[in-house]
């Protein structure tokens, strides 16, 4: 008996995650039990948003390739489309050594900003997406990025792109940047890093900020691809004025870059319990 199978994404009544349910459609009428629903994991949601984002990619583009778990799905999807012939003449500009190694292993042609100072498109994940700002919907799609340690190269590549698309799952949405209570990274030179750690903590005293030097798994200072350290800022309350905060951080001598990506994203693709949601400016 011939059988066609379709899948539908529906909210589960017992969980906030998406549910994937299989429905069998048979050519001949015959009662059949419905298999139990399968809850989508966070990685499943990341892959959904990544697949949607790659729809923006066209043959002949120079692409900024992001860093992190969600961006890795994007790189893999682009490789699959190149292998199948659905995309061609793609050049990637990776935002980290890690992404370079992944893209190279998958056969994606690679280049640099020196050779391609203007990119058609960049796709990357984010650690936080501000969907409300001072009680209102955030019109600028402001982000926190860089918990993977690649914030400097990410910002350079994405600033050089005509369009920057962000891919996240719904857990990354916050009411004000810093609202997750997780790290907002600041890349600093190694020289006198303690001095800048103290200045950064003092700068955000009102937000109850705690500044910590990022360590690697061996307990040694984490070193970025650019041979710098990272000071992670942990906020008890969200940053009130992200634009002012970004300017104040950048003004500190010895600060290389910060993880506030402000007014840079053209669209944010969010995978969540209601399916795929796209926010644009």
Q: In a 10 Å sphere around its CB, with 0-12 CB exposed, 13-18 middle and 19+ buried, how is residue 38 labelled?
A: middle
Q: Which is catalytic among the residues 101, 115, 128, 154? A: 154
3-state secondary structure of 31: coil
**Token pair 């053209």 in the structure block, residue:** 266
Q: For the chain, where are the alpha helices, taking DSSP H only?
A: 42-53, 69-84, 97-105, 151-159, 193-203, 242-250
The closest alpha carbon to 66, from 158, 141, 140, belongs to: 158
In contact, 12 and 131? CB cutoff 8 Å: no
3-state secondary structure of 220: coil
| Residue 101 bears catalytic tag | no
Starting at the edge strand that comes first in sequence, how are the strands of the sheet with 229-234 ordered? 210-213, 229-234, 184-188, 255-258
Instruction: Give catalytic residues, as residue numbers.
Output: 154
């Amino acid at each position: 008996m011939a059988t066609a199978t379709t899948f539908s994404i529906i909210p589960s009544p017992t969980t906030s995650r998406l549910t994937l349910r299989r429905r069998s459609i048979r050519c001949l009428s015959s009662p059949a039990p419905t298999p139990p629903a399968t809850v989508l994991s966070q990685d499943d949601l990341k892959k959904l948003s990544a697949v949607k984002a790659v729809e923006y990619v066209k043959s002949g583009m120079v692409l900024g390739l992001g860093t992190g778990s969600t961006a890795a799905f994007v790189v893999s999807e682009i490789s699959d489309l190149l292998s199948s012939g659905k995309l061609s003449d793609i050049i990637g500009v990776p935002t980290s050594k890690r992404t370079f190694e992944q893209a190279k292993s998958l056969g994606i042609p690679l280049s640099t900003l020196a050779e391609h100072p203007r990119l058609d498109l960049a796709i990357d994940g984010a650690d936080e997406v501000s969907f409300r700002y001072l009680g209102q919907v955030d019109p600028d799609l402001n982000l926190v990025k860089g918990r993977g340690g690649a914030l400097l190269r990410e910002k350079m590549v994405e600033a050089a792109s005509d369009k920057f698309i962000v891919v996240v799952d719904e857990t990354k949405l916050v009411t004000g940047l810093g609202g997750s209570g997780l790290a907002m990274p600041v890349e600093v030179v190694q020289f006198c890093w303690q001095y800048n750690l103290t200045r950064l903590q003092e700068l955000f005293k009102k937000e109850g900020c705690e500044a910590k030097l990022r360590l690697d798994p061996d307990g040694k200072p984490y070193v970025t691809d650019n041979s710098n350290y990272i000071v992670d800022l942990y906020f008890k309350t969200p940053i009130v004025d992200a634009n002012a905060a970004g300017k104040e951080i950048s003004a500190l001598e010895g600060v290389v870059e910060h993880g506030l990506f402000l007014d840079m994203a053209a669209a944010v693709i969010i995978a969540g319990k209601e399916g795929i949601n796209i926010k644009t400016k």
